[in-house]
Amino acid sequence: MHMKTVLVVEDEREIARMVQTYLMREGYRVEVAFTGEEGWTLFKDLQPDLVVLDLMLPGMHGLEVARRIRQGATTPIIMLTARTEEADRVAGLEMGADDYVTKPFSLRELAARVRAVLRRTEGTTVPEVIRVGKLTVDLAAREARLGGGLLDLTPTEFDLLAFFARHPGRVFTRRELLEALQERTYATLPRTVDSHVKNLRHKIEPDPEDPTYILTVHGVGYKFRPPEGG
């Protein structure tokens, strides 16, 4: 098996070196860039198997690096973000980043995500149709079906459902979900998300009072149920 190459783009040198050392010990070839520009150049030269990308970079922002990568490649991207960068995190996921890790993070957690993302993306592309339980979400056709029957969803409800379905098992705060929908709703109140979720549940849940697809995470927000019912 050929050694996987990981490109780490992170301006905090100490963090970059620690990540490099740890991932090398895990058996990866690791190259480091300290700026967005350098990261983009190295990406083109190396054609790495995965990119660990800090968002807050001097000069070219991490989101811009992600955008350039996504224009021509499906290389998995794991973002490094601060807890306060919710909007960027969501923008990054929307732009096609595969996962994120919030600073401060443990090296073991990052390595686990690198492994998981590489496993998940190995020889696959982003599916256009996502199936969870009896639910089918066709991202290209912007259609959702429940047990074969076409669901009558508003554009916002479809966007919310599609966002959930693309990130199963991840917990999102109301504010993050709002950011994900912002272009469509112009709403600013996190509680707006609750009413969208409520309406969606009435359309997709067998029992809206006891939801099995969109789960409430008390005190935090919501998450979509993982594919294998786990």
Residues that bind Ca ion (CB under 5 A): 11, 54, 56
* Residue 41 tokens, joined: 């150049």
Cβ closer to Ca ion: 61 or 134?
61
Taking the least distance from each CB to Ca ion, the nearer of 56 and 87 is: 56
Contact 161, 193 (CB under 8 A): no
Cis peptide before 58 (omega within 30 of 0): no
Cα dihedral angle (139, 140, 146, 152), rounded to 10 degrees? 100
Residue nearest to Ca ion (CB): 56
Q: Which residue, 88 or 179, has its beta carbon nearer to Ca ion? A: 88
| Rounded Cα distance, 174 and 50, in Å | 29
- As measured in angstroms, the least distance from the Cβ of 127 to Ca ion is 32
Least Å distance, CB 91 to Ca ion, is 16
DSSP 175-215: HHHHHHHHHHH----THHHHHHHHHHHHHH-SSTTS-SSEE
Nearest distance, CB of residue 22 and Ca ion, angstroms: 18
Q: CA angle at residue 218 from 217 to 220, to 5 degrees?
A: 70
Q: Which is nearer to Ca ion, 105 or 182 (CB)?
A: 105
Closest separation between CB of residue 126 and Ca ion, Å?
27
Of residues 64 and 143, the one with the C-beta less far from Ca ion:
64
Residue 103: CB minimum distance to Ca ion, A = 9
